[in-house]
């Protein structure tokens, strides 16, 4: 799914998606691509670029099939178009949500709001429109969603919205650095979902702070207790418990003691969907949790080995982090 949709989508464009889907015939009666563009243009009167983006969005959703210059609705597209014909655009909205493109906006919506005692998500409208405008436009396809005086999402839809945290699948071939980053992101997501599921009626107490800054020294916070739990997350595709702590992370572990922990996820499969993966790994005994890792290292319960040393001339100032400017 192309990420241009995140900023491109509006309520009006969602309606155009539905109109365009119904205008294209089933794949068994596929028409030339240029003819499809003309048909959709006559309905929407948007620019050619707008029509092309609409078709791209539907293709990315798997609703359209393009073969040898002809285009038609796929089986999934037929199902969506039948719902649209009944006046129901919610299946298109859910398909967009399940694509994973809104996982960042979903995080903003949940963290800026709260889940009340009956399971409704409530969020100040101003914050929702500022940080999750496109997701909010999609959610308004559900008539029970309210946007004034606050955004209110009903419990059954809140439970479905967990899919906004699904990460996009990795590319077939990845550099080592990109692969390492995706494994780390997946591990953080697994911890975030696990902690939210344990948080009861108020999962907004769980914050994925590494999404805003990766220099804090931990990745996830549980703010339901005081002092808050600070969770550093590590991930691996292997099963052996082995991970690396940066100098900053170890310093923070020593500073915060019992309120700092490491959660290690092994046997991560980036090709798997997030929720089946979470269930599988929990059954396999993950995450492995190490509270107060600095003390565990000092006592020998965890073995730490230096793998590199910073070398510089005596008296030289420490190097500037790439994220810092000389005046910061």
What are the pLDDT digits (tens) for 242-257?
899 988 999 999 999 9
Question: Given this model, what pLDDT does residue 285 score?
Answer: 95
Place of tokens 């399971």: 119
φ, ψ of residue 222 in degrees (nearest 5): -110, 105
Residues 71-127 pLDDT 10s: 999 988 999 999 999 999 999 988 888 777 787 788 788 888 888 888 888 999 999
4-87 is classed CATH 1.10.3720.10: no
Does residue 6 carry a pLDDT above 80?
Answer: no
Question: Given this model, what pLDDT does residue 110 score?
Answer: 81
Residues 134-152 pLDDT 10s: 999 999 999 999 999 999 9
The larger pLDDT score, comparing residue 289 to residue 68, is at: 289
Instruction: Please report which confidence band the pLDDT of residue 322 belongs to, taking 50, 70 and 90 as the band edges.
Output: very low
Q: What's the mean per-residue pLDDT of the chain? A: 84
Does residue 190 carry a pLDDT above 50?
Answer: yes
C-alpha dist (Å) from residue 3 to 37, 56, 238: 22, 11, 31
Question: Given this model, what pLDDT does residue 41 score?
Answer: 87
Does residue 169 carry a pLDDT above 90?
Answer: no
Domain boundaries, the chain: 4-87, 103-165, 176-299
Instruction: Please report which confidence band the pLDDT of residue 44 belongs to, taking 50, 70 and 90 as the band edges.
Output: confident
Residues 17-35 pLDDT 10s: 898 999 999 989 999 999 9
Give the torsion through C-alpha atoms of 41, 43, 47, 48, to 10 deg. -20
- Cα gap 70→75, rounded to integer Å: 16
Give the sheet arrangement for strand 64-67, strand by strand.
31-32, 70-73, 64-67
pLDDT > 90 fraction of the chain, expressed in percent and rounded:
41
Residues 167, 273 contacting (CB under 8 angstroms) = no
Give the torsion through C-alpha atoms of 246, 250, 251, 254, to 10 deg. 170
The residue-averaged pLDDT of 205-218 equals: 88
Q: Is 251 helix (H, G, I), strand (E, B) or coil?
A: helix
What six digits make up the tokens of 89?
A: 């655009």
Within 10 A of 37 (CB to CB), how many other CB atoms are there?
17
Q: How many CA atoms lie within 13 A of 292 on its CB side?
A: 9
Instruction: Please report which confidence band the pLDDT of residue 9 belongs to, taking 50, 70 and 90 as the band edges.
Output: confident
- Cα gap 149→8, rounded to integer Å: 26
Within 10 A of 55 (CB to CB), how many other CB atoms are there?
22
Question: Given this model, what pLDDT does residue 165 score?
Answer: 53
C-alpha dist (Å) from residue 205 to 74, 165, 187: 42, 17, 19
What six digits make up the tokens of 222?
A: 């549980």
Question: Given this model, what pLDDT does residue 105 score?
Answer: 84
What six digits make up the tokens of 18?
A: 């539905």
Residues 61, 93 contacting (CB under 8 angstroms) = no
Residues 296-320 pLDDT 10s: 999 999 988 877 777 878 876 665 5
Instruction: Please report which confidence band the pLDDT of residue 274 belongs to, taking 50, 70 and 90 as the band edges.
Output: confident
The residue-averaged pLDDT of 258-285 equals: 91
Residues 222-248 pLDDT 10s: 998 889 999 999 999 998 898 999 889
Q: What is the DSSP string of 304-318?
A: ----------TTPPP
- Cα gap 220→210, rounded to integer Å: 7
Residue 219 DSSP one-character state: S
Does residue 323 carry a pLDDT above 70?
Answer: no
Q: Is 65 helix (H, G, I), strand (E, B) or coil?
A: strand
């Amino acid at each position: 799914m192309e990420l241009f949709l995140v900023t491109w989508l509006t309520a009006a464009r969602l309606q155009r998606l539905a109109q365009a889907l119904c205008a294209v015939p089933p794949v068994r009666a596929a028409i030339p691509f240029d003819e499809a563009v003309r048909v959709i243009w006559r309905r929407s009167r948007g620019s050619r670029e707008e029509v092309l983006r609409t078709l791209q969005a539907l293709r990315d959703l798997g609703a359209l099939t393009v073969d040898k210059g002809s285009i038609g609705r796929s089986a999934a597209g037929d199902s969506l178009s039948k719902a649209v014909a009944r006046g129901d655009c919610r299946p298109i909205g859910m398909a967009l949500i399940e694509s994973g493109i809104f996982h960042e906006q979903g995080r903003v919506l949940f963290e800026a709001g709260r889940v009340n005692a009956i399971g409704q998500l409530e969020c100040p409208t101003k914050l929702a429109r500022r940080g999750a405008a496109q997701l909010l436009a999609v959610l308004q396809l559900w008539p029970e969603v309210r946007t004034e005086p606050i955004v209110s999402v009903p419990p059954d839809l809140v439970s479905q919205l967990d899919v906004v945290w699904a990460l996009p699948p990795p590319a077939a071939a990845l550099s080592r650095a990109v692969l390492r980053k995706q494994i780390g992101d997946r591990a953080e997501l697994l911890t975030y979902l696990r902690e939210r599921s344990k948080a009861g009626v108020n999962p907004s107490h769980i914050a994925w702070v590494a999404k805003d800054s990766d220099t804090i020294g931990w990745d996830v916070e549980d703010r339901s207790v005081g002092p808050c739990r600070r969770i550093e997350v590590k991930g691996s595709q292997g099963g052996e418990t082995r991970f690396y702590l940066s100098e900053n992370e170890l310093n923070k572990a020593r500073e915060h003691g019992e309120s700092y922990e490491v959660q290690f996820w092994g046997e991560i499969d980036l090709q798997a969907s997030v929720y089946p993966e979470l269930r599988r790994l929990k059954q396999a005994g993950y995450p492995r949790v190490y509270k107060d890792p600095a003390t565990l290292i000092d006592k020998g319960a965890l073995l730490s080995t230096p793998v590199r040393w910073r070398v510089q001339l005596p008296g030289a100032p420490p190097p500037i982090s790439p994220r810092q400017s000389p005046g910061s």
